[in-house]
Structure 1
Amino acid sequence: MTEKLFDVPRRVPAAVTALLVLVAVVVLTALANSTMQPLPASAPAGEFSAGRAMRHLERFATEPRPIGSPAGARARDYLVKELRAAGLDVRVQRAVGANPSTGLASFGQVHNIVATRPGGDPTGTVVIAAHYDSAAMGPGASDDAAAVAAMLETVRALGDAELRNDLVFLMTDGEEDGVLGAEAFVREHPLGRAGGVLLNWEARGVSGPSLMFETSRDNAGLVETFADAVPHPRGDSMMVELYRLLPNNTDFTPMTEAGFSGMNFAYIQDSSRYHTADDSLAFLNRGSLQHHGTNMLALARVLGGADLPALAAGHDVTYFRIFGFLITYPNALVWPLAGLAVAAVAALALLARRRGLASLPRTAVGALSGVVPVALSAVLAQGLWEVLVAVRSDYYGMGGLLHRPEAFRAAVAVLVALAVLGWYLALRRRVGPAALAIGALAWPALVGAVCAQIAPGASFMFALPALAAALGGLGALLLRGAVWRVASITAGAVVAAALLPALALTAFDGMGLALGGVSAVTLALFGLTALPLVELWLPEPGARLGRPVAVGVPAAAAGLAVALAAGGLAVDDFDVANPRRTHLAYVMDAETRVAGWVSGDLDPPAWTRRYVSGRDTAFLPPGYARGELWTGRAPAVDARGPRVTVLSRDGDTYRLKVVAGKGARSITLRTERPITEAGAGVAGARPVTVPVTGTRAKTWPGEVRFRGLPESGAEITLRVPGAEAGFRLTAISETDGLSSVPGFAPRPPGLIPATREDGGIVAITRTYRI
């Protein structure tokens, strides 16, 4: 297409100029999506200050705070004291939270902090929420203490200014174990059942801008408020649609299911620290804290004074940032824009046919074959991940969220370029550059149309680049003069350059290299929109490509990808600042006193191999082993372990009394038969019952967990179909830390606990015939 389309005597200057324009757009887009500069503690009283918020974090976010832990209680006492000192009405809700999932029912005794700031003439309630518990592996400075500290600083910055609406500052407990606190809040607390507008704050990394990544349905009024109120809005409706399709959840999920409308915020960069000991104050990006808090304070003021019922809308909006501006439009325009993109690509194909540049059959070949580079890009990216795991097995336990992934991300980009260029060069002479370039645009246009049907807020990400590229091609066919033609094609690729690489980077941040195929597909679609500019670098379309081009370019790309991967392995080696992870736990059968170490590592490091040396799991208690484990024998400890007593039985329903034992924070029950219903209750709290579907494993498929178990224990109800004659049950009490085991030596520098939930605990078991 471009040989006849562009009458450019000197191709290289045009190609270089176009390339520099696209690179500049990608770089400027990345810079525009940066976070904020933190304000010091000396900032004006009415502004949010990360420096002031840090003072709170230093008081309660320096140690792990899992549900039911002494550290969690200390953090709760501090937060309650600070909120009361600020003049808020503070209550602590004690309840049992519940969360069913496949083959599993999770329960926990939660202590939610509910602080109320009454409004002068309320039209409703604004709930600002974050969780104060952390994962057991680390202090959770980002997840989610940063948001909790931001709430305290927001309360201070609001001062005595009168707001129209009631503000509720909700600090939930037990989020890490299945959003238990939020579930109990909406099920039992009057404010949870009343509904309102929810602003929830999270983190899946330790840095990056605060992204508004999820909304409730019919979000038009909320998004417009967000766009107008927040000084540095980040996020887009693509994230909203993606998160709605994923199984992940936060406190936002049970609260919106209960009737709240709202917005969910998080920062997600440097996610290798997520749920580890490195989610600490040392690694917390102060700019991310500032961005969280600035947004929180702005929305508290605006929504605190708004007519909340007026925000209700009957539709969603599409929203995204481009060239530093937040664009919003109603989803009623999604199908017209997607249809316009398809129509523009079709018009380009017809005009190219009329000009004799590409026949419709050849364009169809270009469109149908365009699936090859897209699919190949995904395969190559996932293949790269498999190679990296094979070379460095520790990556498997990191889920693709690596410390220094930049070289590997660049390798994915090069592999995508290899797939796109390889396809283009292989078919260019036979099919023609115009047919390939126009046919390729069918793919982003098609994806945009599919998204318009199933995920409307994501359609813009593909429909707009296809529309812009097609319009750029039409302009190049209609304009006179090589300069204007090159400018038109370049301008058409700019929208894709501003949107698709940024999406690929966000996918890398959020999902890591383990799902690098997602980013690769996105980059491949970007490459398809830029094919006319690629043509500027190539010889005449009718000429055979010389060996330097036909073989040298793909070979060079492949070699560069290999070099980047090798360089990435060299750069991303583990050290004290970027530690390796290892899983280790201690398990003992309280009856037999047989004890052992277990590790789920693929290849345990030297420190872990001091405790595990083989694969023998026969000595482990019934129902304990899940998956492939390394094991080693260990000395017994002085622990009585859990106790289970049958209180009553009604057919296949059993009511049990369970006690974890001294010092244990939690208990897990595993059954040799599937369970279909489970309930739990503790003294002074309402019991709760949930259905359970599916199974957890081929053997011992039923499981119930109770986190934050009080010393007096809990009543657990199990429905076990077909178990009228009884069944076996293994109870596992869980105590944090391994220092009580004789012979245990602390991990050396550069080694931290893995994120696997059963790591770093002393597990004492008893097996019963119920």
Structure 2
Amino acid sequence: MRKDLGLILAVLAGLVLAFWSEQPPRPLAPDAPATVFSAGRAMADVTQMAARPHPTGSPANAAVRDYLVGRMTALGLNPQVQSAAGVRRVDRYPGPETFVLGGQVQNIVGVLPGRDRAAPALAIMAHYDSVPGSPGAADDAAGVASALEIVRLLKLQGTPARDVIVLITDGEEGGLLGAQAFFDQHPLAKRIGYLLNMETRGGGGRVQMFQTAANNGQDVDLLARGARHPLASSLTVFIYKKMPNDTDFTVSDKAGVQGLNYAFIGRQFDYHSPTSTPANLSQGALQHMGEEVLGVARLAAFEPSLPGRGPDKTYSNIGPWLVAYPPMVGWGLLAVAAGLLGWAVARARKAGTFVLMDVAQGLGAGLYLIAASVTFLRLARRATGAGFGFIEQRHLLAQAVRWEVALALVAFGVMTYAAASLGRGRGRFAAAGLAFAAGLACSAFGGWDPVGLGAGIAAAVAAFLSFARPAGVPGAWTGGLALALLAAIGMQAAAPTTAFLFAWPILLASALAAATGLGAGKSPWRLPILIVGGALGLAWILPYGHALYLGLDLPELLTIAIWLSALVLWPLIQSDGDSPRPRALAIGLLAAGFIAVAVVRFAPVWSERHPQTSVVQFVIDHDAAKAWRVSTSPKLDPWSAQALGPAKPALRELPPLTRKPAWATPAPMIDGSAPAISRTVGPDGRQGLSLQGPGARVAFIRLRANAPLADVRLAGQPVTILDQPGRWTVIRWVGADQVTLDWTTKSPHGALEVQTGWLTDGWPAGAAPLPPRPKTIAPFDLSDSRVDLAHTRLEW
């Protein structure tokens, strides 16, 4: 009973500490002292910018631009508007098509002059445009408002050592277009020696410094000195490099500028959503953003020199401290952990509590824990019935706390079941059968799932081999730690900046093992040491699990947090001998977890605060003289089906508006100007294409040539496209109703197929109005708009 109580105390203390560590600071009011960052003051700017959606090229975005010019003028930054075309070819999309993002943007650039005007400058960057349909209070009015408050404080401190460039970009949501235009074309781009970027992917949570440029050793040193309550790790930098996500920092990094990238990602339901309003923005997150960036900005602005390039460092925060060291130190930490574990084994053997066979069983139990965690977490995700995708996942994001609790119950259930089965023995058939059944059940939701079945089979095999006889805690814990130590050595060899994630918990667990005789010592301090050590380990591990939960819709990755938690809790969770209580507790936790999953699946979640999304458009094909009401939603909700009209919706191809078929019903034609497509020939022999959609804000263009084109320029900017005959190029253009393309060709004859779709914001006046939306349904992204299609073939 004492061990059970100790486990409860350790888990509760770890949860409390982890929860406390994840809370952003208290926001300061507008009347806070003028020398400190105040979220209350920054909120005044957020409220002005996020009064309504303001995508690039919209009148609302022009109003935000004018407001920011006024604010920056009042701060003495002498702002200038850079009106330019930004063009980016994007190669990360799969498939046979080439993708280009472009648009007409208006960046706002101001300068706080420094003492040495020729020194490399510090840039503070954020973007002011929002996605269509979202006010963008977090993404990225929060970043812009933070930048303004930060530069006010820098100015209050005195004249900085170098210029501070305030770069407020446009077109980030359209594809990093403003940043691309600035670093390609603006003369100040060459003067930037360091850059701090602020972004968000949600509406709350603590701010994380999640990205650096390569060779970040001195960047990490700067962060450690300037951060107040840092949240950062070299693991996130490593993972982010492998992800397809981008921010404006991607462009500055590619341009060779060092710096740090910050974001908060809590309350993800509000990301790119109509609910991203000032009222729903966490002012604590805004306070944390400002405080963290301000601390680093002060050092970068006022110190004699900016950070240079240095070898990458391994780093992570422990509470309010950032611990950083050269990656090679990781080998030393693993050696110390191995030494402590060896000493613990020697003590246990001397005490007669160590059985070698138990080590093999403990290693097998670790493998079971990994495979079973993947199986049960995958089953839980599929059992929710929510599809995979940005829109489909919103059903889970609307009940994010409930869903995370469900996963936590399943996770602790798997952990305690593995430990109970190992300690009691004689449970290999039950454990193997349960894992195999869970693996099979994965295919009952959403179709055949070989991954879930494979993990279930692997768990069943591990259970059959490991749970045949009772194992003692000393040997079993040794086997689990040995398995984790092998994994950490592999990480240290393959990706040394990530190995701390395993090395630190292993070091803690090995120290606990050495201090407690592998959990079986006779000291009266054994249980208190295990409780305190387990709680501290959980307090550090669980925030990483929470970050994985927030960052990726892959609950299977939580297996890492489960495995690491088991390392520091194992002596408390492994059952003693024939006690049935731990296994009954494990089954109860798993049952509670899947009951919570059922609630997640069937509970009504849509409300005015968390509305369901709808995307409805009126599409006109001018060549075919036909019109449709269209929805690009994966599944039609009842309101969207009603909005499409009395006819039964059917899936229809509508290039270039959509890559996949969309739901459509025929509609009466309405009046309106057709898009114009014309070919031009310049005096130098260059051929060109002029495309225009009167009054439109977004263009979707699809092109294919039967002869290779060279020196292609989109709106005057060079871009490598149409050099392979027969290959489609897809262009998404924002911010203007006209775009030009010109090129040269060595072929005297050729043809260019052109498909265009021009989007105009707002439901067309000539169409039958949409039915009133319930408060539980909201327009999303490009909804409630008109799209004019035109197609042609040009020959020469």
Question: TM over 0.5, yes or no?
Answer: yes
Contact 2:18 2:542 in 1 (8 A): no
1:127-276 equivalences in 2 (<5 Å): 127-159=123-155, 161-276=158-273
Deviation per CA, 1:79-102, whole angstroms, max 9, x where unpaired? 112212222132222222122223
- Cα distance, 1:52 vs. partner? 1.9
- Which residue identity lines up with residue 252 of structure 2 in the other structure? M
Contact 1:142 1:279 in 2 (8 A): yes
- Which residue identity lines up with residue 643 of structure 2 in the other structure? Y
- Cα distance, 1:147 vs. partner? 1.3
- Which residue identity lines up with residue 762 of structure 2 in the other structure? G
Percent of aligned positions with the same letter in both sequences?
28
Instruction: Select 2:70's aligned residue among 81, 93, 97.
Output: 81
- Structure 1 unaligned spans of 5+: 1-11
**Alignment partner of 1:49 is 2:48:** no
Matched residues in 1 for 2:786 and 2:710: separation?
28
Does the residue aligned with 2:278 lie in a helix, a strand or coil? coil
Matched residues in 1 for 2:482 and 2:724: separation?
41
- Which residue identity lines up with residue 690 of structure 1 in the other structure? T
Matched residues in 1 for 2:656 and 2:743: separation?
19
| TM-score where L is the length of structure 2 | 0.85
**Alignment partner of 1:417 is 2:412:** yes
2:555 equivalent in structure 1: 516
Instruction: Select 2:301's aligned residue among 282, 301, 304.
Output: 304
How many residues are treated as equivalent by the alignment? Answer: 735
2:611 equivalent in structure 1: 579
Contact 1:611 1:632 in 2 (8 A): no
Matched residues in 1 for 2:332 and 2:121: separation?
37
- Cα distance, 1:196 vs. partner? 0.8
Larger displacement relative to structure 2 (462-471 or 486-495): 486-495
1:109 equivalent in structure 2: 104
- Which residue identity lines up with residue 755 of structure 2 in the other structure? T
1:476 equivalent in structure 2: 516
Deviation per CA, 1:614-655, whole angstroms, max 9, x where unpaired? 45345x545555335322222323222322223359xxx995
2:359 equivalent in structure 1: 363
Does the residue aligned with 2:490 lie in a helix, a strand or coil? helix
2:539 equivalent in structure 1: 498
Matched residues in 2 for 1:676 and 1:351: separation?
75
Contact 2:49 2:137 in 1 (8 A): no
- Cα distance, 1:739 vs. partner? 5.0
1:485 equivalent in structure 2: 526
- Cα distance, 1:724 vs. partner? 6.9
- Cα distance, 1:162 vs. partner? 1.3
Does the residue aligned with 1:489 lie in a helix, a strand or coil? helix
Does the residue aligned with 1:327 lie in a helix, a strand or coil? strand
Distance 1:234 1:677, change over 3 A: farther
Instruction: Select 1:616's aligned residue among 650, 655, 667.
Output: 650
1:680-691 equivalences in 2 (<5 Å): 680-682=713-715, 686-690=716-720
- Which residue identity lines up with residue 153 of structure 2 in the other structure? A
Matched residues in 1 for 2:181 and 2:391: separation?
35
Matched residues in 2 for 1:73 and 1:723: separation?
44
Contact 2:709 2:743 in 1 (8 A): no
1:703 equivalent in structure 2: 730
Matched residues in 2 for 1:527 and 1:341: separation?
16
Larger displacement relative to structure 2 (334-343 or 586-595): 334-343
1:327 equivalent in structure 2: 323
- Cα distance, 1:235 vs. partner? 2.6
Matched residues in 2 for 1:622 and 1:189: separation?
35
- Cα distance, 1:734 vs. partner? 1.2
Instruction: Select 1:507's aligned residue among 532, 539, 548.
Output: 548
- Which residue identity lines up with residue 175 of structure 2 in the other structure? G
Matched residues in 1 for 2:568 and 2:263: separation?
31
Matched residues in 1 for 2:510 and 2:213: separation?
34
Contact 1:18 1:490 in 2 (8 A): yes
Distance 1:769 1:433, change over 3 A: farther
1:387-426 equivalences in 2 (<5 Å): 387-389=383-385, 397-398=392-393, 402-426=397-421
Matched residues in 2 for 1:275 and 1:168: separation?
27
Contact 2:755 2:790 in 1 (8 A): yes
**Alignment partner of 1:735 is 2:724:** no
- Cα distance, 1:22 vs. partner? 3.8
Distance 1:622 1:139, change over 3 A: closer
2:85 equivalent in structure 1: 96
Does the residue aligned with 1:748 lie in a helix, a strand or coil? coil
2:445 equivalent in structure 1: none
Matched residues in 1 for 2:622 and 2:233: separation?
53
Contact 2:758 2:788 in 1 (8 A): yes
Matched residues in 2 for 1:155 and 1:427: separation?
59
Does the residue aligned with 2:251 lie in a helix, a strand or coil? helix
Does the residue aligned with 2:279 lie in a helix, a strand or coil? coil
- Which residue identity lines up with residue 96 of structure 1 in the other structure? A
Distance 1:335 1:188, change over 3 A: farther
- Which residue identity lines up with residue 791 of structure 2 in the other structure? T
Distance 1:436 1:717, change over 3 A: farther
- Which residue identity lines up with residue 493 of structure 1 in the other structure? G
**Alignment partner of 1:714 is 2:740:** yes
**Alignment partner of 1:561 is 2:593:** yes
Contact 2:626 2:669 in 1 (8 A): yes
Matched residues in 1 for 2:377 and 2:749: separation?
51
- Cα distance, 1:108 vs. partner? 1.2
Matched residues in 2 for 1:738 and 1:679: separation?
35
Contact 2:154 2:160 in 1 (8 A): no
**Alignment partner of 1:284 is 2:281:** yes
| TM-score where L is the length of structure 1 | 0.87
Distance 1:382 1:51, change over 3 A: same
- Cα distance, 1:134 vs. partner? 0.8
Larger displacement relative to structure 2 (745-754 or 466-475): 745-754
- Cα distance, 1:412 vs. partner? 1.3
Does the residue aligned with 1:89 lie in a helix, a strand or coil? coil
Contact 1:96 1:688 in 2 (8 A): no
Instruction: Select 1:446's aligned residue among 478, 486, 494.
Output: 486
Does the residue aligned with 2:363 lie in a helix, a strand or coil? helix
2:369 equivalent in structure 1: 373
Matched residues in 1 for 2:691 and 2:390: separation?
38
- Which residue identity lines up with residue 630 of structure 1 in the other structure? W
2:471 equivalent in structure 1: 432
- Cα distance, 1:352 vs. partner? 5.0
Does the residue aligned with 1:45 lie in a helix, a strand or coil? coil
- Which residue identity lines up with residue 195 of structure 2 in the other structure? L
Contact 1:589 1:766 in 2 (8 A): yes
- Cα distance, 1:18 vs. partner? 4.4
Matched residues in 2 for 1:124 and 1:395: separation?
40
Instruction: Select 2:13's aligned residue among 4, 24, 28.
Output: 24
**Once superposed, what is the RMSD of the aligned Cα atoms?**
3.3
Instruction: Select 2:628's aligned residue among 596, 614, 625.
Output: 596
- Cα distance, 1:745 vs. partner? 3.3
- Cα distance, 1:118 vs. partner? 1.4
Distance 1:398 1:137, change over 3 A: farther
Instruction: Select 2:56's aligned residue among 45, 51, 67.
Output: 67
- Cα distance, 1:130 vs. partner? 0.2
- Which residue identity lines up with residue 785 of structure 2 in the other structure? I
2:786 equivalent in structure 1: 762
- Cα distance, 1:555 vs. partner? 3.3
- Cα distance, 1:761 vs. partner? 3.0
- Which residue identity lines up with residue 397 of structure 1 in the other structure? E
Distance 1:246 1:350, change over 3 A: farther
- Which residue identity lines up with residue 675 of structure 2 in the other structure? P
